[in-house]
Structure 1
Amino acid sequence: MSYRNDDSSAGSDVAGATTLFAAVLRKRAFLLVRYPMNTLAQIVTVYLFFAVIFFGGKAAAGSIGGASALSDTFGGLIVGWFLWTMALAAYFSLASSVTREAQWGTLEQLYMSPYGFGSVMAASVVAYLLESMLWGAIILPLMLVTTGQSLAVDLPTIGPIIVLTLLPVVGIGFVFAGLALLYKRVENLSQLMQFVLIGLIAAPAADFGPLRYLPLVQGSAMLQRAMQDGVRLWQFPAADLGVLVVTAVGYCLLGFYAFKLAARRARRKGVLGHY
């Protein structure tokens, strides 16, 4: 009898987690479909920024006779922009989602959820990661067609690297979501992060070892090698994979812990759902 009860409880937990994740995923999909012009404008904006940089750099290099040398860097530009697009989506999706929940007055309902607030946020993180990879999957073919370049897209390799690279960005998103709960209007500060993300993606991890332990740096370097040089996941040194995993889990957990501290303080001050 006790065995059946334990098994039933385990099955119920799995079913509950599946239901929660499906609900969060449907909500994210609904928001994208419900506002199609906003979704389309986001894609067009990211692509136009890339096109301006690409064609502007190509024209400038051509005027000084350096077009052939510059063409060698187009692959790195595409991979970097691909990662930046996904990082922005993961970061802003989380930070803006918590802010909107507070504005709508539904954040307290998440805390009262029978699943627990931690479970709700964990499901949301998975949904945000899938959404960010969707943006990357849309913008990457556009960039390849525009530039005429080709890259290695081995999903068993780049998939885990992308997920682990984006997890520290999720941690940063948690930090800014916590700041938004406490200080409400932090949009200008939050906007500055997109430039910080560019710097982290472009950081030379190989030239200065300690940089590898910053968010995005190690993952960006590995993604460049995987997509430009065709390096497979199992061909990377164990030390590189270890740094990637440690930074991914560490920054994500630290960010979530900072968010919980900020949310706890916001509850004590009575401003959790106020905006």
Structure 2
Amino acid sequence: MLELFFAELTRAGIQFRRYLFESIGGIVISTSVFYGLFLSASYIAGPGLQFGNRLDSIIVGYVLWTLVLFIMANISGTLQREAQTGTLEQLFISPFSASQVFLTRAVADLLLQSGLIAAIVVIIMALTGRWLAFPLTLWLPLLTVLLGAYGLAFAIGSLALIVKRLQQVLGILNFALLFLMSVPTEEWTGSLRIVGNLLPMSPGAGLLRNVMARQQPLDLPQLGIAFVNGGVYFAIGLFLFRWAERQTKRYGNLSDY
């Protein structure tokens, strides 16, 4: 596995250097979209608008949405590009399983792209004048969000293996993910709180908003719920991906386009 990881990390580094302008463009677009929405809300509400820590929560949700979109597009986009170029079969006949290859590739890409995500966070904070807290405890709820994101990415990847093209589905899913990352489900009560804990990545996102935007201590019982949530969605995603892999091999349409 270490050999596979370093190979994928090398591949990701080469692509990052070769397409550096595209990465910089992604930073500009992401920050411009958020700042445009921020200015529009400020104009509509008038000069008396006071966001308070709600703006901090919105920043956390937007950055998480950007991170999750990258993870989703990484796995499903790789499957579609490999199918179009006719190299998908090569990935499936490697000494490693397809799920290991795509997970390792996604993690290697994420390590390189984390610098871009950090740049987006810093630029947005500078533009809005709101500075988030970054305690060491944020890594635990962030891990739960990553588990759920990779689970969803593998679930969508299973569809990409079978139907090959998912542009319209991904476009609709992007808006649903924005809802999941932005709505403060951690403030829901009663039966709605249970619903919020069942939504993918929602418990971890709520913990990150509490820790980074509201400077609250980490809620350990809620962290346990977040880990269960992320682990379940990750397991479901891997199961669906391996099922789709068996189906495509069974019917011989792995490299179809």
Aligned to 1:75: 56
Q: SS state of the match for residue 205, structure 1?
A: helix
Give yes or no for contact 1:200–1:214 (8 Å, CA) kept in 2.
yes
| Residue identity opposite 1:53 in structure 2 | L
| Residue identity opposite 1:175 in structure 2 | A
Cα distance in 2 for residues equivalent to 1:229 and 1:71: 10
Computing the radius of gyration from Cα coordinates, the structure with the larger value is: 1
2:35 is equivalent to residue 45 of structure 1: no
Q: TM-score, normalised by structure 2?
A: 0.90
Q: TM-score, normalised by structure 1?
A: 0.85
For this pair of structures, how many residues does the alignment match? 252
Give yes or no for contact 1:86–1:135 (8 Å, CA) kept in 2.
no
Distance 1:241 1:118, change over 3 A: same
Q: Identify which of 205, 221, 243 aligns with 1:220.
A: 205
Q: SS state of the match for residue 43, structure 1?
A: helix
Aligned to 1:231: 216
Unaligned runs of 5+ in 1: 1-16
Higher relative contact order (CA 8 A, sep 6+): 2
Q: Identify which of 130, 151, 172 aligns with 1:171.
A: 151
Q: Identify which of 75, 78, 95 aligns with 1:114.
A: 95
Cα distance in 1 for residues equivalent to 2:207 and 2:12: 29
Give yes or no for contact 1:94–1:128 (8 Å, CA) kept in 2.
no
Cα distance in 1 for residues equivalent to 2:145 and 2:131: 22
Instruction: State the 4+ residue runs in structure 1 displaced beyond 6 angstroms.
Output: none
1:116 is displaced (CA, Å) by: 3.2
1:147 is displaced (CA, Å) by: 0.6
Aligned to 2:9: 25
Cα distance in 2 for residues equivalent to 1:128 and 1:167: 15
State the identity as a percent.
29
Please give the root-mean-square deviation of Cα atoms over the aligned residues, in Å: 1.8
Q: Identify which of 226, 231, 235 aligns with 1:244.
A: 226
Q: SS state of the match for residue 253, structure 2?
A: coil
1:137 is displaced (CA, Å) by: 0.8
Unaligned runs of 5+ in 2: none
Give yes or no for contact 1:181–1:266 (8 Å, CA) kept in 2.
yes
Aligned to 1:34: 18
Partner deviation per Cα, 1:121-178 (whole Å, 9 max, x = no partner): 3322422443453332120000010011111112x22223212212211111112211
Aligned to 1:84: 65
Partner deviation per Cα, 1:221-245 (whole Å, 9 max, x = no partner): 100011022234xx413x2111111
Cα distance in 1 for residues equivalent to 2:112 and 2:120: 13
Cα distance in 2 for residues equivalent to 1:134 and 1:173: 21
| Residue identity opposite 2:107 in structure 1 | V
Aligned to 1:135: 116
